[in-house]
Chains A and B, each alone.
Chain A
Amino acid sequence: MAAHDTATVDRKGPSRPAPVQKGKSVRNAAKWAHLPMVVASLLLLFPFYWTVVMATNTNADYYATPPKVVPGTHLLENIASVLTSINFFGSMANTAIVAVSVTVLVLFFDSLAAFAFAKYDFPAKKFLFGLMLAFFMVPAQLSTVPQFITMINIGWVGTLQALIVPAAANAFGIFWMRQYISTSIPDEILDAAVMDGCGFFRQYFLVVLPVIRPGLAFLGIYTFVQAWNDYVWPLIVLINPDMLTLQVALSQLNVSRGTDYAVVMAGAVLAIIPLIVVFLAFSKQFVADSVKGAVR
């Protein structure tokens, strides 16, 4: 464990108390590992490059033979089209509100339920967990129609809570956090907490929550990405064109008679910038937490 007990992950390798020769081979292997990483990175990045190429050229260049492979000079006018065609910043604010709310609620509700399922026995627990698992894989789109009718009846059609509340707790998250909690929290720690007079909720806040932060980080990213990219349900339930999320607004750029691909791509470029910022901020925390979690 001592090997991990360093401030950053990057120093993990060299601090291993391995013999000199083996250390060398590890180091060489580490260098070679850059090769597939760089190849994979290029493959993953190519579409972004292409997106930028398309966003900076005109729609006609999309159809050109041979296709344009270098960025052009039309970025600003394409962005201008995006901003005049859709309420870009409003829809981005809406998306952020939805994604952040859903993520916070899911992390709290799911980990709390997961804690109960992982570490406590209570009547009907097996039944409740089984029930949850049974509906584990019902594709969400299939209940779209009745759910829409539910939203009409409670007057939530066209509002953001129609996106937030149904997504505030989910079976995947509980399932995953239960796995995580049962492996990462020793019963002894909880027993000690009980001896100190901690009830269920104090155990959760004082003992469980600090330990499961890396687990929450995965779930957080997963939930945030799902909420940010949700497409079908917002498309149906947000019937007020003044109040859209980003994905729906972007799909509006995809017009009925012929798509202006340059403008769609410019919108896609704009839409991804805040996510990169969020992830950059998030990933440092994410990596550091993973290590902490492993150390405890």
Chain B
Amino acid sequence: MTGARRNPLRFWPQYVAVSPFFLLFAAFGLFPLAFSAWLAFHRWDGISPVTFAGFDQFRFLVADATFRKAVVNTIIIWIMATVPMLFMSLGLASMLNSVKRFRTLYQVILFLPSVTSIVAVVIFFKAIFDNQVGVVNQVLEAIGLSGVQWLNGYWTIKIVLAVIMTWQWVGYNAIIYYAGLQAISGEVYEAAKLDGAGPLRTFWSITVPLLRPVIIFTVVVSTIGGMQTFAEPQVLFGSNASINPNSGGPGQAGLTMVLYFYQQAFNNNNYGYGAAIAYGVFAIVAVFTLINWRITARAEK
């Protein structure tokens, strides 16, 4: 800024163009971050006067095994949900691109889950994965297998959460990929065909590279969504709320970072510690941001 003191005026349209984001961000992003930082050095129950706590909250955070558990859970659930989902989305998108009839119908069907109320979605999956009377277990037993205690186990809880997230977002991502595929010129495929490339090769060496910006977009969005997983475990294990709210189910296997933050801040009225957790999450998310940044930077070339 200082080096180009006379220049900036010439670029006023560009500054005006980018200013809405930065103004809004200053008011509703930066200030809250700064306030959180201040809060992380204090104790506050949400109503009473705030008292200074020094580095206590961060000392607690470093020693907090439950927070570590929540971090691991979040990453595992994110991987289990995102990786298979994006592959399935890509597959569905190319199928959708190659069929000729019913495209609009398929699109509507693919889109529907993403606009369904999360509360209703989770109640549905809770019902079908019920340990005893769930449809999934009844089908398993009907074909001679034994039922699974879905909502009890460390891995099965994560599977259920991943299934919920996959169901809700697989079609949405497929539509985005499909729209990306639509933008790829047919000539490219004709050329590939003339070179004798098979469908798989065409897919890997033409479709995927050309879809790269779209794929990056979906990976970034899914990462952000995955790191913020909250409503799914909150609603899934919210029924015993009066005794032990938002603990993430048996073995706290469904306790995600944001759910833990919410529990500490809003259930336990420990806003100072909540702020410290927020910064812990921020640090972890920063690592993923760097990874994303690198991928993006490569795509720039």
Contacts and interface: CB of A to CB of B under 8 A. Distances in A.
Interface of A: 1, 3-4, 9-10, 12-14, 16-18, 22, 26, 29-31, 33-34, 36-37, 40-41, 43-45, 47-48, 50-51, 54, 62-67, 109-110, 112-113, 115-117, 120, 122-125, 128, 131-147, 149-150, 165-166, 168-172, 174-176, 179-180, 183-184, 199-201, 204, 214, 217-218, 221-222, 225, 228-229, 231-232, 246-247, 250-251, 254, 256, 259, 261, 264-265, 267-268, 271-272, 275-276, 279-280, 283-284, 286-287, 290-291, 293-294
Contacts of A45: 109, 112
Given A34-B101, A231-B231, 11 more contacts: A3-B187, A13-B100, A29-B199, A47-B167, A65-B132, A139-B257, A145-B36, A175-B217, A200-B14, A250-B119, A291-B182
Interface string B79-105: 000000000100110011011111110
B254 interface: no
A110 B22 CA distance: 11
B288 interface: yes
A136 B274 contact: no
Contact of A287 (B100, B176, B182): B182
30 contacts: A3-B187, A3-B190, A16-B190, A40-B88, A47-B113, A50-B127, A110-B21, A116-B14, A137-B223, A137-B286, A139-B258, A145-B36, A145-B271, A145-B274, A145-B275, A147-B32, A172-B220, A172-B221, A179-B216, A200-B14, A214-B183, A221-B111, A229-B115, A254-B119, A265-B124, A286-B179, A287-B104, A287-B182, A294-B183, A294-B185
Contacts of A251: 119
B209 interface: no
A124 B193 CA distance: 46
A37 B115 contact: no
B11 A123 contact: yes
B106 A3 contact: no
A66 B138 contact: yes
Interface of B: 1, 3-4, 7-8, 11, 13-15, 17-18, 20-22, 24-25, 27-29, 31-36, 39, 88, 91-92, 95-96, 98-104, 106-121, 123-125, 127-128, 132-133, 135, 138, 167, 170-172, 175-176, 179, 182-187, 190, 193, 199, 213, 216-217, 220-221, 223-224, 227-228, 230-231, 235, 238-239, 241-242, 257-258, 261-262, 265, 271, 274-275, 278, 281-282, 285-286, 288-289, 292-293, 296
Contact of B120 (A109, A120, A228, A265): A265
Contacts of B125: 47
Contacts of B39: 145-146
Contacts of B24: 165-166, 168-169
Nearest to A275: B115
A150 B27 contact: yes
A231 B36 contact: no
A268 B239 CA distance: 19
B121 to A, nearest CB: 7
Nearest to B116: A272
B221 A222 contact: yes
Nearest to A274: B115
Contact of A113 (B18, B36, B111, B265): B18
B209 to A, nearest CB: 13
Given A113-B18, A250-B117, A294-B185, A146 B224 contact: no
B36 A133 contact: no
Given A47-B113, A115-B17, A214-B183, A180 B213 contact: yes
B187 to A, nearest CB: 7
A142 B116 contact: no
A142 B261 contact: yes
Contacts of B128: 50
